[in-house]
Amino acid sequence: MSHESATKSLLFCERDFSTLGCSLADVAGWSIVGHLSMVTGIASVICGKQPAAGIVVVSATDMMQMFRRHGASDEECRVFRIRTQGSADWQYITEPADGVLIKLTDLLLLAEEVQKFEDDRDLLRRPSLSTGAAPRYDWEAANIMLFCRINDHGLPATQGELINEVQDWFAQNSPTGEIPEESTTRKKIAPIWRALREPA
């Protein structure tokens, strides 16, 4: 593989994560649940009797101090296990005994995984509609109602109350009388609720 193609196959986690439209903490969370692999390059280490070097997978769960959602995050930490690409098994570093120092700026994402993840998210966000078909529910109008409600009266005490208000709004304003499933409304409301409730 040429240097140019190798560079294009990797994204810097810290520098390029904005392509996902999310925070580093979000990237770490998606890595923990298996959607994205965090990788880095290391010098030769020994895992038991097996040497390892080059591009390896590291676990976000071992580096959570670098991905705090609130408060200052560390710029580096030590990891004591790695996984070689193509392997499903973690290998524990025995030499050096103090593991490998990983800096935030050293962490990379696999561009192919990022692209697939973005594509999957787009499919979930934008259901396929035939040309000219109108959305089943007028979420744009519902959002305007929400903005006015929050601007004029603030947030209610609980997220559940806000969901109920949106459901009631659809019941009163839907031309067909149809209202979204509560789970659908919850998915729409949750990011707004978190953004307004979580401290800056």
Listed by start position, the domains of the chain span 3-125, 139-197
pLDDT of 127 reads 47
CB-based contacts of 99, cutoff 8 Å, min separation 6: 78, 79, 80, 93
One digit per residue, the tens of pLDDT, for the chain of length 200 reads: 333 444 457 777 766 565 555 778 888 888 888 888 999 999 999 999 999 999 999 999 999 999 887 778 899 999 999 999 888 899 999 999 999 999 998 999 988 888 888 777 654 454 444 445 556 788 888 888 888 888 888 889 999 999 999 999 888 888 777 888 888 899 888 888 888 876 54
Global confidence as pTM? 0.56
Per-residue 3-state assignment (H helix, E strand, C coil) for the chain: CCHHHHHHCEEEHHHHHHHHCCCHHHHHHHHHCCCCCEEEEEEEEEECCEEEEEEEEECHHHHHHHCCCCCCCCCEEEECEEEECCCCCCEECCECCCCEEEEHHHCEEEHHHHHHHHHHHHHHHCCCCCCCCCCCCCHHHHHHHHHHHHHHHCCCCCHHHHHHHHHHHHHHHCCCCCCCCHHHHHHHHHHHHHHHHCCC
